[in-house]
A and B are shown apart, each in its own frame.
Chain A
Amino acid sequence: MLRFVTQYFGFLKAVPGAALVFDAWLRIATLFTHPDVSGYIDSIEREVSGWDNICTGIHKYGGMRFNCAKHELGHIHSNGLLDMLFTREMKKQLMAADDRVTHHHVFKNTGWISFYIKTEADAAYAVNLLKMAYDGYKVKESVSACN
């Protein structure tokens, strides 16, 4: 459903609040179709929020956003779709290592990846991905602090 809406109604994201409402519909639909997924999202949120300098918020296109200082680590749409930005090289490696990691559902030729959280194992892998990005930012921060 998300793919269909972003493909044909993506222009509506410019309407203030439209993405929020769409995400609410996605959440409601997911609660009926995959009730476990919202629990997995909650557990990821609990886990990631506990890391230093992490804050959560609403993503501008709907879903929950995880920020490390001012950098976005990734965001999870309410149907369990995790979107994250890596370098293209890292994206290639991640996609080669695990076929659950795919091109971003909209921005294919970028460093963005998409990862569907459907099971507990997916949730654990999602936390790993976020940790990877988190550690990457921490390394960058320490390098820039040294310089």
Chain B
Amino acid sequence: MNRIFTPKVNGYLFSNAMGFAIIWLSKYLSGPSGNGVLIFSEFTIVPFLIGFISAWFWRNDKIDSMTLVSRCVLTCFIAIMLTVILFAEGIICLVIVSPLVWSFIVAGAFTGRAMFRHNNDTLNVSVVLALLVVFVIDSTSVHHYENMVADKIVINAPVSKVWKNVVAYKRNTSPDKYWLFKMGMPSPVESTTEGYYVGAKRKCIFSNGYVFDEKIVVYQENKNLTFDITEQPRDPEIMGHIDILRGQFLLQDNGNNTTTVIGNSWYRLYVFPVWYYDIWAKSITRNVHLRVMEHIKQISEVK
């Protein structure tokens, strides 16, 4: 048995077991009121603790920094695989989360390595307890974050022609340019509407068949199309972690047979820390905008 449970293996095993036990406990305690929110501690404190605990098991190993970082890579990989199995997360989610988790595991492992050299148990236990206190406070706090992304494009076509394509547009068959779309993240390909009036239902169809149900809330011909998202798919990929709340196209007639189109989207994030995930959310939303607006530009500029 001792041959299997060497300090090296224990470092991988027990650190991850502890990490996932904490996450499970937090989900259990928060219950349905958690609303699927993944708090910042789950991506920062827990990986830090995983690295820290690993370093405790490896404290007597004479390993250099490169080996420790490599072990952190494997620890991170195990954590990611456990996330796939236990929480059914999608691959793109994991691509997004990996750099964050890995860097905190590395930070935890090197902090642990430096601290465990001194055999100061009081300090070591204090650090773990302090991190757990932060985790509990974070778990019991309210997490709510909404933001908006705006993009602009100039189309060489009159506003009346652009407007038609803004409200509904035919299928976009051009290849994706954004790397996450190329990796398999669904991209918008088509939009349909049942009518040109406030209250009309609109659908935004994505490349994998997902449909966002929308309702037009502002309809000012050639000027403003605003729609609320009434239903969106729940998917293990990124879509479970962000809700698009509202979309808007503002058109400005430039007077020279060109039209400026401004695309706005409002979204709510369910994953924290915001300083990390909002970068991704903005990037993805921006690329959704660009794909739609470039398609509108392309079909509007056809003579």
B-contacting residues of A (Cβ < 8 Å)?
A: 17, 20-21, 23-25, 27-28, 31, 35, 38-39, 41-42, 55-58, 64
Give the shortest distance, in Å, between B139 (CB) and chain A (any CB).
18
* CA gap between A55 and B116 in the complex, in Å: 12
* CA gap between A56 and B116 in the complex, in Å: 11
Give the shortest distance, in Å, between B42 (CB) and chain A (any CB).
15
Give the shortest distance, in Å, between B70 (CB) and chain A (any CB).
9
Q: Is the CB of A21 within 8 A of B65?
A: no
Residues of B within 8 A of A20 (CB): 107, 110-111
Identify 5 new A-B residue pairs, CB closer than 8 A, beyond the known A23-B110, A27-B106, A57-B118.
A17-B107, A28-B106, A38-B66, A58-B110, A58-B115
Residues of A within 8 A of B114 (CB): 56-58, 64
If over half of B's interface residues share one DSSP class (helix, strand or loop), that class is named, otherwise mixed; here it is helix
Q: Quick one: closest B residue to A43, CB to CB?
A: B64
Residues of B within 8 A of A58 (CB): 110-111, 114-115
Residues of B within 8 A of A57 (CB): 114-115, 118
Residues of A within 8 A of B104 (CB): 21, 24
Nearest 5 Cβ contacts at the A-B interface? A24-B107, A38-B65, A24-B106, A42-B64, A58-B114
If over half of A's interface residues share one DSSP class (helix, strand or loop), that class is named, otherwise mixed; here it is helix
Q: Is the CB of A35 within 8 A of B118?
A: no
Which of A24, A25, A39 interacts with B64 by CB under 8 Å?
A: A39
Q: Is the CB of A25 within 8 A of B103?
A: yes
CB of B48 within 8 Å of the partner chain: yes
CB of B69 within 8 Å of the partner chain: yes
Give the shortest distance, in Å, between A35 (CB) and chain B (any CB).
7
Residue in B44, B102, B107 whose Cβ sees the most chain A Cβ within 10 Å: B107
Give the shortest distance, in Å, between B109 (CB) and chain A (any CB).
9
